[in-house]
Structure 1
């Protein structure tokens, strides 16, 4: 459905990210789960979320991959330090020699190729990745795709094609072209703030490693953003963005920077998935859990659309986020209808369905109460449909 929706657009962004789903407290039915993070047990989810490029509204999921790692074998109790060193070296060698398609990093290339086949050839899909997606295989794969591009935050100070010059030194030598303000959301490492970035950009040729059949340089554009006057208590923002999109002027460089900030939508999506849909609270065997995750994934997208519109365009028509039946039921559940049915009105009614108390109107509407209200709305719609059929 998302692929059909984006087929009407000339350009769509596809933001990708991976999250861990922790089911470490499950004592039984552990088959199908695997190690994650530091001693955790669960599943790994990679999402590719379609975003419209003008305002950053989510459209829906274009692709999603769910898997588990195989449990590690416990080392022998009487293993000596020398034996441990040899075992770890052998494991690293085995990992390096595995086919790329069997490695977890293949997810980035798999997203490119899968979405390319799904979406109409008339739509340019630009994938947006964080540093984990900065792998040469990604850039090499793009040579073979017709209507796919990329914006990725560089993780490696790559060698360029001329005289072994490095990426960072090349961009640091460029003059500052313009300054741009952006809003930084809060994370576990920083507080939310508005900041100003100094922007440099230029074309670069990335040197292709010798192990690749195609040794031609990878021609891309680099946008280098560094924070101006960072607060003393914060870590300065520094983004080196690589893109296959042609940057001919300041306007396009600014657009690339703005598109990269939309990558936070997939992080918001995973946050809603965990805190709103509470996907980690269920206790099912892995096969059943994977089916449930597929169901919850769609609802999490709907909640992301709802919360983003409520935050950015509260006065938009409610029909932008509701189908006619949902709108009809919310009207019936609303004690007093406003003259204009807006997104803000719809969110408040859905929140009341989820248990939001009107006398606490100064308290922000939380994602969990919206989740409960959204489920209640779905139940009411299903009941209405069943009643109509009988």
Structure 2
């Protein structure tokens, strides 16, 4: 019998191991257990922890949120969700994982986390929840036939039993871990343009900001009018400029775009199986369409059609919706930090699906700390230093700040010592950033290097004090 506690694991020893594993991930920035452990005994502890049946992703994150000191009681929270696929090399000593696609012999699973951001300044509070989704292989002729039939009958399946129900269950778990905020807005990409999801989000008392994917029929216009036929008739209300990060399909550049907004009422799909859903949902639409003069080469222009439950009656409100949607990029950066650009979770040698799911959840938490530093680096977020660092860690940061600052005003830490931006400046400097305002701001890789160096210094600092 383990020692009982108030932790989610009901065992003090398991909770202590969780803390040690997370700290080691942050120090060494790896997901390989033998690299994270300093002794054989510690490697055994870490291995036993992630494979323990009492340990699961929900319990790991719930315990983490219990320990946070952040106060979000008056906050408007953005709950941003997205999916990513993790693939692992097949090994003789690893149990079979899930199907991830026809173009690879690797197996793996899908992750669907929800992260929580401050709607006022984009400050990241952490990973609120994660769904781990394993898709079984269809191997026998009967299994293949059954899979094809399920695909044909998808429209008959209730929303609650479909995989895309994750767009509601994951944010719901995140909100349960962060239950006292004043307001919540669920944010998602084109996959969230689901009538059931919009209706159920509103029923929960939350707002939404989802990107359009479907040319929906409208109920407050002519009989055969659709959303995409209506938008060209709206006036351009504003011309805006904003930066977009580089992606697989797009170069990093400054976008010049025309902005439109208005109110529509979308119809429930004609053959929808759930007739208890409202016949119409009134919502606001913000369209952002890139001008030809800012498009790079032969790349496709930015064209976002955003659906929201928030009022949009002014240019300022429309620009706020645009800003919230742009902050969705935070979760994309989180995935990059989780994978080859950071913790390299797909290099893990863990043998079981249960263990890999738990290790992935731990790695997401470690990656989120890096992203907190990135978000806070320019001082635009209002997060406090105690949201991330303990009192002893703060003391060490103050000592390091004295060493890292220069003699001129331009080379000094410009942020208040109680702000997360203050810590972010120090971590960036430790990672090799020059520290000047005009310098290119430190990105995730620089912050990873800085955090690794900081926690190594911290171990020596503890010995001194």
Give the structure-1-normalised TM-score: 0.83
Instruction: Name the SS for the 2:258 alignment partner.
Output: strand
2:219 to 161, 168, 178: 161
Aligned-residue offset at 1:4? 7.3
1:73 to 122, 133, 139: 139
1:170-189 superposed matches below 5 A? 170-189=230-249
1:299 to 337, 348, 366: 366
Moved more, 89-98 or 215-224: 89-98
In the alignment, structure 1 residue 35 sits paired with structure 2 residue 104: no
Matches of 1:308 and 1:112, distance apart in 2: 21
In structure 2, the CA distance between the partners of 1:331 and 1:98, relative to structure 1 (3 Å rule), is: same
Aligned-residue offset at 1:333? 6.2
Instruction: Name the SS for the 2:99 alignment partner.
Output: strand
Matches of 1:333 and 1:19, distance apart in 2: 37
Matches of 1:52 and 1:253, distance apart in 2: 18
In structure 2, the CA distance between the partners of 1:206 and 1:62, relative to structure 1 (3 Å rule), is: same
Matches of 1:243 and 1:112, distance apart in 2: 16
2:169 to 93, 96, 110: 110
* Aligned position for 2:190: 131
* Aligned position for 1:61: 127
* Aligned position for 1:80: none
Where does structure 1 differ by over 6 angstroms across 4 or more consecutive aligned residues? Answer: 314-318, 362-366, 382-388
* Aligned position for 1:226: 289
Query: Any conservation in 2 of the 1:326–1:377 contact (CA below 8 Å)?
Result: no
* Aligned position for 1:374: 451
Where do 5+ consecutive residues of structure 1 fail to align? 77-83
Where do 5+ consecutive residues of structure 2 fail to align? 1-64, 407-411, 414-421
In structure 2, the CA distance between the partners of 1:224 and 1:44, relative to structure 1 (3 Å rule), is: same
Query: Any conservation in 1 of the 2:290–2:301 contact (CA below 8 Å)?
Result: yes
Aligned-residue offset at 1:19? 0.6
Query: Any conservation in 1 of the 2:401–2:426 contact (CA below 8 Å)?
Result: no
Aligned-residue offset at 1:331? 5.4
* Aligned position for 1:52: 118
In structure 2, the CA distance between the partners of 1:260 and 1:318, relative to structure 1 (3 Å rule), is: closer
In structure 2, the CA distance between the partners of 1:369 and 1:279, relative to structure 1 (3 Å rule), is: farther
Matches of 1:105 and 1:197, distance apart in 2: 31
Query: Any conservation in 1 of the 2:112–2:170 contact (CA below 8 Å)?
Result: no
Query: Any conservation in 2 of the 1:158–1:166 contact (CA below 8 Å)?
Result: yes
In structure 2, the CA distance between the partners of 1:198 and 1:277, relative to structure 1 (3 Å rule), is: same
Instruction: Name the SS for the 1:15 alignment partner.
Output: strand
Matches of 2:211 and 2:263, distance apart in 1: 15
Matches of 1:169 and 1:12, distance apart in 2: 33
Q: How many residue pairs align between the two structures?
A: 372
Query: Any conservation in 1 of the 2:86–2:108 contact (CA below 8 Å)?
Result: yes
* Aligned position for 1:346: 426
Aligned-residue offset at 1:283? 1.3
Aligned-residue offset at 1:61? 1.6
In structure 2, the CA distance between the partners of 1:113 and 1:322, relative to structure 1 (3 Å rule), is: closer
Q: Larger relative contact order (C-alpha < 8 A, sep ≥ 6)?
A: 2
Moved more, 315-324 or 326-335: 315-324
Instruction: Name the SS for the 1:233 alignment partner.
Output: coil
1:200 to 254, 260, 267: 260
Instruction: Name the SS for the 1:291 alignment partner.
Output: helix
Matches of 2:238 and 2:441, distance apart in 1: 37
In structure 2, the CA distance between the partners of 1:276 and 1:246, relative to structure 1 (3 Å rule), is: same
Q: Could you list the per-position Cα deviations for residues 132-153 of structure 1 after superposition, in whole angstroms to 9, with x for gaps in the alignment?
A: 111111112023112x111111
Query: Any conservation in 1 of the 2:374–2:443 contact (CA below 8 Å)?
Result: no
In the alignment, structure 1 residue 247 sits paired with structure 2 residue 312: yes
In the alignment, structure 1 residue 327 sits paired with structure 2 residue 389: no
Q: Could you list the per-position Cα deviations for residues 333-385 of structure 1 after superposition, in whole angstroms to 9, with x for gaps in the alignment?
A: 67935275544651245427xxx99xxxx999674564355346446657877
* Aligned position for 1:79: none
In the alignment, structure 1 residue 236 sits paired with structure 2 residue 301: yes
In the alignment, structure 1 residue 271 sits paired with structure 2 residue 336: yes
Query: Any conservation in 2 of the 1:152–1:242 contact (CA below 8 Å)?
Result: yes
